[in-house]
Amino acid sequence: MGAHTKRVRVPEECQGIQVNHCKNLRCGNFGIAAADAPSRGRRPLDNYVFGAKGELNSSLRCKLCGERSAVKSNVGIAEELDRLLSDLYPQREGDCCPSADCDNAKKSVQATPSEYYIHGKSAAGAKRYRCRRCGKTFSCKAKSTARQRKPEINEMIFRLLMNKMPMRRICETADIHPATLYGKIDFLHRQCIWFASRYEQMILRAPPVTRLYLSVDRQDYVFNWGTQLDRRNVMLHAIGTADNASGYVFGMHLDFDGSLDPEETERAAISEGDYEQQYPYRRYARLWLQRDYDDSHRLKKRLQAHRASGTMDGATAAAHRSKLEALQMVTEVLPDDIQLANEVKAPSVGMQVRAEYTMYAHFLYLRYLLQNVERLRFFMDQEGGIKGIFVASFREDILHRRVDGFLVRIRKDMSIDEKKNAKAVSEMLLAKTMRHYPEATRAQATEYVMRTLIRQAASETTEREFWVQHPFPDMGEPEKAVCYLTDFGDYDAGHMASLYLKASLRATDRFFMQVRRRMSIFERPISSASGRKTWHGYSAYNPAVGAKLLTIFRTFYNYTLTGEDKKTPAMRLGLMSSPVRLTDIIECQPDEELASPNR
């Protein structure tokens, strides 16, 4: 048995993170963590009851309100947050003391400048430094493209990648070997991280805005199988958040850690006794281990057999669903058609992170990055578990009324004619209201209609959380409904109506659409005639490449890609005064001083 087999009642707090508490905002237990020790005698130490949920996952039930939530590993969430924050504070390899025996051997000049003296420049113009501890001197690269054999094709490859050219066609056009292309992708990925981190660190110090209206959504990506011997797909999920006003994408995070070795991690997990533990008590709780995929595959096969035979009664369905919930493979995580029609497997390189851990880390990342913005309003797609993850991540900010959250539900299967009809009906309603109040402006009439609908919806329920049908949907978001999650009754009717009217997922959805349209590897895959397998000729085989391209595209989208107003999202946000050239990203040096934000 491993070192982590000793059972504790609740996973330990880590780096100030403790998400195992009641997530009901109206409950006296909200934000109060469960006690680590069980009750003594007849006197309980807290107002929680722990129980088994399925065979592998543990649940937490609040005695005050009865709300139940899955227990999560705080260590796993902290590890995932560290992974996401590494892009905000990238470490440049090589710019440290070359002496292996020196204490500064792993301390870079950028991270610890006090450990080095500036020591002039080399003959090539590169900055030289002298270690304060051992006296060794060394130089940093003068250019980002130093020692590259074909630096002149960097910009061309950047453009081709951002304009939907398939990998093989890029190799033909640039006359390069595939290995060279993947090396260039690695280089562009590093440069984009350096460039974006420079300006996003400004948001930490001096945010360009005081209020943000943010949309949050998720997108699924299917990667091809790499061998005919195992024709199962790799399915990963990304969560993104964008500003609805500027379009700036603050984070796009894939549930995939390319830095991990699957075989080494599997051996370590077995050594730690992880397979004998429930998920939240494992050492590697945030990761999908090999046996987890096998168990998921077996359970889904059994469920399919029951459905095909028509012998699955309610009790059997509930039992299977409970087991699938424990494996985090429920419909809230994966749509039913994908979940049952595709047999997914582990990535061949790197490791898949459990989706809920990436979601927790994503929100905590945003909380850190936007900590100096005065007010944040989140509009989130109705995803399974997102409400609990959101309120646990921002619990203090919600209680201090700095953060508000809304769920947004949109019907996405409407035809163009249906969307036009819905738009026409809303315009008729608005025109009728303006005739009734001739002195009202269009904005005032719109607010009046929304206030009326909120009042009507509230009168029909005793719950504080209720859905309101948006009276004025647009073509991009037909039949939109909104649910206010953080309503404490402290906003007046006009303020409430204004927030409901602002509810939208348009910024994130537009970014997702551009991901599909501009990068061939993220096009939607095509199902085979049998509906059992999916494959796409342009899709990637290595998820690590997909993760790097998402980072490259986010930087390109935020700083280079202009809209109809000839501005980029970074310009609208106030970070830049003009679009960034690709050469500026390619030539970005990490030791350059930060530019001041343009106000």
> What is the arithmetic mean of pLDDT over 357-381?
96
How many whole angstroms separate alpha carbon 363 and alpha carbon 84?
11
Collapsing DSSP to helix, strand or coil, 526 comes out as strand
pLDDT recorded at residue 436: 81
Q: Are 280 and 56 in contact (CB under 8 A)?
A: no
**Which of 23-32, 267-276, 308-317, 557-566 has the least mean pLDDT?**
308-317
Q: What span, in angstroms and rounded, lies between the C-alpha atoms of 570 and 110?
A: 25
Mean pLDDT within 332-351: 56
- What pLDDT is stored for residue 516 in this prediction? 92
Q: Per-residue confidence at 339, pLDDT binned at 50, 70, 90?
A: very low
Q: Say whether pLDDT at 133 is over 80.
A: yes
Helices (H), 310-415: 314-326, 336-341, 355-369, 386-393, 395-399
pTM: 0.86
11-25, 57-71, 189-203, 286-300: segment of lowest average pLDDT: 286-300
How many angstroms separate the first and last alpha carbons of the chain?
Answer: 59
Q: Choose the most confident range, by mean pLDDT, from 36-45, 56-65, 313-322.
A: 56-65
pLDDT score recorded for residue 398: 96
The whole-number pLDDT of residue 5 equals 46
User: Tokens for 20?
Assistant: 């195992």
Neighbours of 472 (CB within 10 A): 16
- Give whole-number Cα distances, 274 to 74, 81, 277, 282, in Å: 16, 21, 5, 5
User: Which pLDDT band, with edges at 50, 70 and 90, does 539 fall under?
Assistant: low
Between 21 and 423, residue with greater pLDDT: 21
pLDDT > 70 fraction of the chain, expressed in percent and rounded: 81
Residue 286 has pLDDT above 90, yes or no: yes
Task: Tell whether the model's pLDDT for residue 530 goes beyond 50.
Answer: no
Which one is predicted more confidently, 83 or 327? 83
Q: Compare 109 and 344 and report the one with higher pLDDT.
A: 109
Q: Kindly tell me if the per-residue pLDDT of 215 is higher than 60.
A: yes
Q: Which residue has the higher pLDDT, 416 or 195?
A: 195
Residue 350 binned pLDDT confidence (cut-offs 50, 70, 90): very high
Residue 316's pLDDT band (cuts 50, 70, 90): low
> Mean pLDDT lowest for which of 48-57, 309-318, 515-524, 576-585?
309-318
**Does the structure show a pLDDT above 90 at 580?**
yes
CA distance 371 to 63: 33
DSSP bridge pairs for 405 = 378
State the helix-helix crossing angle for 543-559 and 178-205, rounded to 10 degrees: 50
Q: What is the pLDDT of residue 555?
A: 97
What's the pLDDT at 355? 92
> Is pLDDT of 53 > 70?
no
DSSP three-state, residue 588 = coil
Residue-wise pLDDT tens digits, 547-564: 999 999 999 999 999 999
**What pLDDT score was predicted for residue 336?**
37
In which band, very low, low, confident or very high, does the pLDDT at 230 lie, cut at 50, 70 and 90?
Answer: low
Structure tokens at 293: 């995929």
Q: Give a three-class secondary structure readout of 194-242.
A: HHHHHHHHHHHHCCCCCEEEEEEEEEEEEECCCECCECCEEEEEEEEEE
User: Quick one: pLDDT at residue 234?
Assistant: 82
At 443-452, the pLDDT tens digits run: 888 888 889 9
What pLDDT, on the 0 to 100 scale, is given for residue 423?
Answer: 76
CB atoms within 10 A of CB 106: 13
Percent of the chain beyond pLDDT 90? 49
What are the pLDDT digits (tens) for 390-400? 999 999 999 99
Query: pLDDT grade, residue 231 (50/70/90)?
Result: low
Tell me, what's the pLDDT at 306?
65
Name the average pLDDT for the chain: 83
What is residue 172's predicted lDDT score, i.e. its pLDDT? 94
Task: Copy the structure tokens of residue 466.
Answer: 């209720």
pLDDT tens per residue, range 463-503: 878 999 888 877 788 888 999 999 998 999 999 999 999 99
Whether the predicted pLDDT of 594 surpasses 70: no
Q: How confident is the model at residue 439 (pLDDT cuts 50, 70, 90)?
A: confident
